[in-house]
Amino acid sequence: MTDSAVRALGEPVDEDALTLLRQGEMELEGLLPDASNTTLRAVITLDGVTARCIYKPVRGERPLWDFPDGTLAGRESAAYLVSVAGGWDLVPPTVLREGPLGPGACQLWIDDAYSEDAGELVGFVPVDEMPDGWRPIIDARGPDGRRYRLAHADDPRLAAIAVFDVVVNNADRKGGHVLCTPSGRVYGVDHGVCFHVENKLRTVLWGWAEQRLDEAAGESLRRLAGTLDGPLHRVLASHLTEAEIIALSDRVHRLLEEPRYPAPGSTWRPLPWPPM
């Protein structure tokens, strides 16, 4: 997949970042210990330009009963492509490339972005201290018996992630997969378990369930639908099966026909574990 192929999907596209991720020399720094699959931070360098990245080699993927082995890295790259095509721009630049431990997903490390800062947008908060306007999800009790509530802000940045997650059928939107920067930019990361043909949506962002989508969501969905029969279909075919691409298209068109956030179903577990 070339930079021009990605550019055809939509804007903005950080072409310099994509070139660096694809062609740069990678030097591993260390392992991120809390990740369920092998996840390493690395320094990547090309023509005197240096940045950090996250590298997830295919050989380090933990087998799952419901996703084919060796496909999670490609799904990470596919999520970036869909984010670009819909104009969401919420997934950091991501490519599939050869690395020190073989092929894997390589994603730009966002400086100064931390999941801990997302606590200002989503998390468990004491019931009597929940910020005004936050949307409750579930109640829980801490070790001391104090009541807490999993909730999130009524924030358009989170709403965009919620729509994106429905589109890609994200089975693991933990609160820790939402990253915030000091400038207020919000990213979504960890998209290895997306694009299943069956409904797998598990998320902490259920606060808009059954409410109508706003116009911004509709515009993104129309942009995405316009590319699914053309350039996006062709590049996604490198990462997903034809059935998965068809299911993606079906989800987009269902949202356009009935522009509402879905509600949690009763046939699957709607929350990831752990939620944060």
Torsional sign, CA 196, 200, 204, 206: positive
Mean pLDDT confidence for 215-231: 93
Residue scoring higher pLDDT (84 or 142)? 84
Q: How confident is the model at residue 13 (pLDDT cuts 50, 70, 90)?
A: low
Mean pLDDT confidence for 17-36: 91
Residue 43 has what pLDDT?
Answer: 95
Residue 9 has what pLDDT?
Answer: 40
Average the pLDDT over each of 6-15, 198-207, 233-242 and give the range with the smallest value: 6-15
Residue 7 has what pLDDT?
Answer: 42
Q: For residue 151, is pLDDT > 90? A: yes
Summarised one tens digit per residue, pLDDT across range 64-81 is 999 999 999 999 999 999
Residue 115 has what pLDDT?
Answer: 53
Q: What is the mean pLDDT of the chain?
A: 90
Mean pLDDT confidence for 12-22: 81
Domain extent listing, the chain: 3-114+155-257
Summarised one tens digit per residue, pLDDT across range 78-127 is 999 999 999 999 999 999 999 999 999 999 998 766 655 555 899 999 99
What Rg value do the Cα atoms of the chain yield, rounded? Answer: 18
Mean pLDDT confidence for 35-57: 92
Q: For residue 37, is pLDDT > 50? A: yes
Secondary structure string (H, E, C) spanning 51-114: EEEEEEEHHHCCCCCCCCCCCHHHHHHHHHHHHHHCCCCCCCCEEEEEECCEEEEEEECCCCCE
Neighbouring CB atoms inside 10 A of 137's CB total 22
Q: For residue 249, is pLDDT > 50? A: yes
